[in-house]
Amino acid sequence: MMENKEVLITKEGLEKAKKELDYLLVEKRQEIAEKIKAAREFGDISENSEYDEAKNEQAEIEAKILKLEMIVKNAKIIEESSAKKGIIDVGSKVIVLDVEYNEEETYAIVGSTEADPYENRISNVSPLGSALIGKKVGDVVEVPVPAGVISYKVVNII
């Protein structure tokens, strides 16, 4: 069982989690129940792939519901206004410069439940996220990676 510890999340992230939870509880559960009922009507459930598939999907949905309920129950909203101005914290958006390749990237520092590297939303506990916490414009952080170390310079905090 997951321990009930605080989950750092943005207001938008919490709303998204609540909407997904509501959808799973109201619509998806009913849909799965109907699939299981229909699959049972095919006869012998011991060799019924539709039944097995529906039961597996049900287990996945229930696990996701438990995870979302834990997030909603233990959510601690990240207050962007509470972040000290000029210092990177969870909820900050930051522009960094990859010193070696002279390329700028913009990242949002979020709690681990909202992290999505494809949307440049990095977790506060990721190597780069944790290195950036507490830094300010002009600071350089070094992040260990499998190929060595990458240096990033903080260009701006949005």
List pLDDT tens digits, range 81-114.
Answer: 544 678 998 889 999 999 999 999 999 999 888 9
User: Residue-wise pLDDT tens for the chain (158 aa)?
Assistant: 445 688 888 888 889 999 999 999 999 999 999 998 888 887 777 777 888 899 999 999 999 999 999 989 998 887 765 446 789 988 899 999 999 999 999 999 998 889 998 999 999 999 999 999 999 999 999 999 898 999 999 999 98
* Same fold? 7-77, 81-157: no
The CATH code of domain 7-77 reads 1.10.287.180
Contact 9, 113 (CB under 8 A): yes
Q: What is the pLDDT of residue 82?
A: 41
Among residues 150, 144, 4, the alpha carbon closest in space to that of 71 is found at 4
Torsion angle of C-alpha atoms 112, 115, 121, 126, degrees rounded to 10 = 50
Q: Does domain 81-157 have CATH number 3.30.930.10?
A: no
pTM above 0.75, yes or no: no
List pLDDT tens digits, range 47-58.
Answer: 778 888 999 999
- Where in the chain are the domains? 7-77, 81-157
Q: What is the pLDDT of residue 103?
A: 96
